[in-house]
Chain A
Amino acid sequence: MKTSKQNVLAIPLIIWFGLLVGVPLVYVVVLSFLSRDNLGNIILQFTLENYEKILDPIYLRVFVNSFLLAVLTGLLTLLIGYPVAYITAKLAPKQKNMVIGLIMLPFWISSLLRVYGWIILLGNTGLINNVLLALNLVDKPLPLMYKFSTTLIGTVYMLIPFMIIAVYNSVDKLDQSLLEASYDLGASKWKTFFNIVLPLTIPGIAGGFTLVFIPALGLYFISDLLGGGQTIFLGNLINTLVNRGRNRPLAAAFSVGMILLVVLIISVYSRIAKDKGEGLFR
């Protein structure tokens, strides 16, 4: 029988992680309610000013940009990744392992390198424009860089393995007899997919969406390198406020806003997962 006496060993661990994770997060929340003087120093005075600023249309726009980017990244990774996961799950075991390995491999490759690769491909003197020019399909380079869509390409590319693995786990667990029963009863392939496969893999989809959504909110170096600061996202704004603006309370308020977005998506996810009796973060 495990008693609370044995919990003593856990106390140093709790203190360590509490200090390094819990306390900084609480500190940020506190800071977001504090003011600063003209030099950017923080003064101990309660204010709601930082949160009022967030609601300013200019800043609110940044929230909308980030939210849009994260949602679109989720949808696109799903659209492109679902077939990949589905096809992979149907492969023979040996091929399956190889394909999964190939999907996971980019994770271990420097994320900066992978973003940089897209600059090499999409730049004005990049590979894609070189090919298009050489084939005389265009007479001047297409402007592919520094757009919202360029950032989107970057986040989709970086995060798609998360989506594929989450969906794959779901498809792989699917009870084959259900599909056979559906075919036997005369349902077409598409009908079986939409009525049986898709609903049963919703936990995987929701899990993948969560795993993609969270980092998409904050990977500011992607929008920095590919988006060129044309569209401002939360990550870039927080970064600028901390480094150049020296407005730390406002940066803290934006961080709190960002964390709230994450809490929102996780609570949606856990509701879906609970309904289906599964969980990613069990």
Chain B
Amino acid sequence: MKRKTNRFGIFYLSFFFVLLYLPILSVVLYSFNAGSSTAKWTGLTLDWYRQLFNDRVIGEAFTISIQVAVLTAFLSALLGTAAATISLTVTRKMKKVIQGLMLLPLLVPEVALGVSLLLFFNGLKLPFGHLTLVLSHSLFCVPYVYIMVLLRLQEIDASIIESARDLGATKWQAFQTIILPLIMPAIVTSSLLAIALSLDDVVISTYMSGPASTTLPVHIFSMMRVGVTPKVNALCTLILVGTFFIIGLNQLIGKSSKTGGYLIEKK
């Protein structure tokens, strides 16, 4: 190996990572700035965090976001696992149809998807709120559950299931007692991913929120449009901490089951 290129390579990578993380770090840094502008550093403070906890609107938006995220994760886990399991029993053509339909939301730009859902739900006279948020969020979460569970299912030795069936287990029993425990880590990690994706969504939520159901990102977006305030920085920093908590949880599950760690390694 030639040393010279290696050194240049390390330099380039380091430079890249500085640029990748600088914006994130500066948000965190300025959340502790006493002054309300980024122009000057006027000393450390936790005031912005205190203001945040007293803000009722943000508290409500946060509650709605968490509710929506958890419901989305449940629905996506259910649908994604069902789709993955069923797609292994149907004909190849049918599998392609399922896959195509499910991956479609990832291929359509979010604005177009959001608008189409808005117009459609509007046409159906569905009330905008939790229901529309969960339904729309599950659309872009299910494909990830599907892919992760499918990968895990394909690793399972078919002979285990065959012997269970030979010993008299029904199809459902075989699924419940053998397959489900084996794919559980994949279901859990992909549900965590669904929570993260749902909590982060801005574009589709803008269209799906009802008058009384603004999600946190939609609210943050409107705050950011007004301008830079350290309060937004503080809020973003707290969300960052939450994100790291989810990632840590995922890595933990990954380590204990040896199949996880999906959040970082695979998408």
Contacts and interface: CB of A to CB of B under 8 A. Distances in A.
B255 to A, nearest CB: 14
A170 interface: no
Contacts of A80: 16
B12 A10 contact: no
Nearest to B123: A27
A117 B111 contact: no
27 contacts: A2-B91, A3-B91, A6-B90, A9-B90, A10-B98, A13-B83, A14-B98, A22-B104, A27-B123, A88-B13, A106-B21, A112-B200, A112-B224, A115-B224, A116-B224, A117-B26, A117-B27, A120-B26, A123-B228, A130-B38, A157-B20, A189-B5, A218-B110, A220-B111, A220-B203, A221-B221, A281-B103
B232 interface: yes
A255 interface: yes
Interface in A113-151: 113-121, 123, 125-127, 130
Interface string B102-136: 11110111111101111110010000000000010
B267 interface: yes
A116 B222 CA distance: 12
A234 interface: yes
A106 B233 CA distance: 17
B151 interface: no
Contacts of B38: 120, 123, 125-127, 130
Contact of B91 (A4, A121, A130, A215): A4
B240 A7 contact: no
Contact of B12 (A84, A97, A220): A84
Given A2-B91, A9-B89, A224 B225 contact: yes
Interface magnitude class on chain A = 35 or more
A24 B119 contact: yes
A218 B22 contact: no
Contacts of B123: 27
A26 to B, nearest CB: 9
A259 B203 contact: no
Interface string A1-35: 01110110110011011101111110110010000
A113 B239 contact: yes
A24 B203 CA distance: 17
Contacts of A217: 109, 111
Tell me what chain B mostly uses at the interface: helix, strand, loop, or mixed: helix
Interface of A: 2-4, 6-7, 9-10, 13-14, 16-18, 20-25, 27-28, 31, 80, 83-84, 87-88, 90, 97, 99-121, 123, 125-127, 130, 157, 160, 165, 189, 214-215, 217-221, 224-225, 234-235, 238-239, 242, 248, 251-252, 255, 258-259, 262, 266, 281
A9 B196 CA distance: 30
Output the residue of A18, A112, A130, A248 with the most chain B CB within 10 A: A112
Contacts of B109: 214-215, 217-218, 235, 258-259, 262
A219 B204 CA distance: 11
Nearest to A157: B23
Contacts of A28: 112, 115-116, 119-120
Contacts of A113: 24, 27, 236, 239-240
Contacts of A84: 12-13, 16
Contacts of B202: 111-112, 221
